[in-house]
Amino acid sequence: MLDKYMIGVPVEIKNYIGNTLASGVKLEYSSFGGKCLPARYYIWEGSWDLRTVINEYDISSFPTNVTRTELEEDEKYFWDNGLLIGKEYKDWKPVWDYFANSRQLRSFTDKDGQEIIYDYDEFQRLKTSTARDGNVTSSYIYQYGAPNRITSTTTYSDAPSQTIEEEFDGLARLIKKSHNGVPKQEFFFDGGGRIERETYLVGSYTTYIYEPSPLARVFQSIFPG
C-alpha cells in the first residue's frame, strides 16, 4: 500500500477496555488488475474472524463478486457507469433503475417484486415515493430558514398517516426530530462540531466528553440518572 501512496487508510482498528481487546475491525488489500483494493474484511471476536471476501472487481474498481461468510452463496453486483443497477443472490434479484442521462434513482424493485417509484422537484429534491402498488405514499416538504426543516408524511391505504419533522442547523446538522408532533430526538453540538448532548429518553439526555485531542473521540458517555 505504501508504494500506492495509501498512507492515510486505516487497515486495522482496535478498541480496548483497559488492557483487554474488546472489539476491532481489519481490512486486507490485494491487487486487482494492478490496483490495490479491499479484499478481505475481519472483525474481532476473541480472534480475527473473516466476514467478507471481495473476489472480483470490474474495470472501474466496483465489486462484482462478494463472499459473505454468513451466506450460502456468493453475491453478484452489476454496475453501469458507476451506478448499481442489479444484485443477485440465489433467486433474489433486486433492480435499481435511473432516469435517462441522470444519476437520480427512478425506481427500486425489491427481491419480492415490489417496486418503489421516486419523483423529484425542479431542484432535484425528492418530492414523493410510492410503494406497494400505490398503497403507501411518502411526500416531502422543504423549508429553509427559521427553522430549516424537512417534513415527510407517509400515507397508507389501510392505516393512519405518519408525519416526521426533521430540523437542521445552518451547517445542515440534524438538531431535532419529531413524530406526529411529538418530540423524539434532540442533538446539541459543542464549538468543535461534536455532539455534546443527545436525547436518551424524551426530557433526558446523554452527555459526551471527548479526549483532549483533535480526533473527536469520545472519552466518556454520561447517561441520565
**Does the residue 30 lie in any domain?**
yes
Secondary element (H or E) of residue 123: none
The pTM of this model reads: 0.75
Q: Are strands 126-131 and 136-143 parallel, antiparallel or unpaired?
A: antiparallel
CA 13 to chain centre: 20
In a domain, 128, yes or no: no
For the chain, the average pLDDT equals 93
Q: Please write the tens of the pLDDT for every residue from 171-183.
A: 999 999 999 999 9
Residue partners of 218: CB distance under 8 A and separation at least 6 = 208, 209, 210, 211
Q: For residue 205, tell me if it sits in a domain.
A: no
User: Residues, the chain, total?
Assistant: 225
Helix (H) or strand (E) holding 203: none
* Cα–Cα dist 82/105, whole Å: 13
pLDDT band at 146 (very low <50, low <70, confident <90, very high): confident
Tens of pLDDT, residue by residue over 119-143, are 999 999 999 999 999 999 999 999 9
54 CA to centre of own chain: 20
Contact present, 67 and 53 (Cβ < 8 Å)? yes
What's the confidence (pLDDT) of residue 9? 72
Alpha-carbon separation of residue 81 from 7, 33, 89, 166, 196 (angstroms):
28, 19, 22, 33, 41
Band of residue 207 on the pLDDT scale cut at 50, 70, 90? very high
- Given a cut of 80, is residue 80 above it in pLDDT? yes
- Written as one letter, the residue type at 36 is C
Which domain, by its residues, includes 35? 1-70
Tell me whether residue 15 is in a domain.
yes
Domain count, the chain: 1
Q: Is residue 135 part of a domain?
A: no
Query: For residue 3, what pLDDT band results from cuts at 50, 70 and 90?
Result: low
Q: What is the pLDDT of residues 6-50, one digit of tens each?
A: 556 788 988 888 888 889 999 999 999 999 999 999 999 899 999
Q: What is the pLDDT of residue 2?
A: 55
pLDDT in the model for residue 149: 98
List, for residues 156-172, the tens digit of each pLDDT value: 999 999 999 999 999 99
Residue range 103-111: mean pLDDT, rounded: 95
Helix-, strand-, coil-residue percentages of the chain, each rounded to 5: 5, 60, 35
- Predicted pLDDT of residue 1: 57
Does residue 133 sit in helix, strand or coil? helix
pLDDT tens-digit readout, 15-26: 888 888 889 999
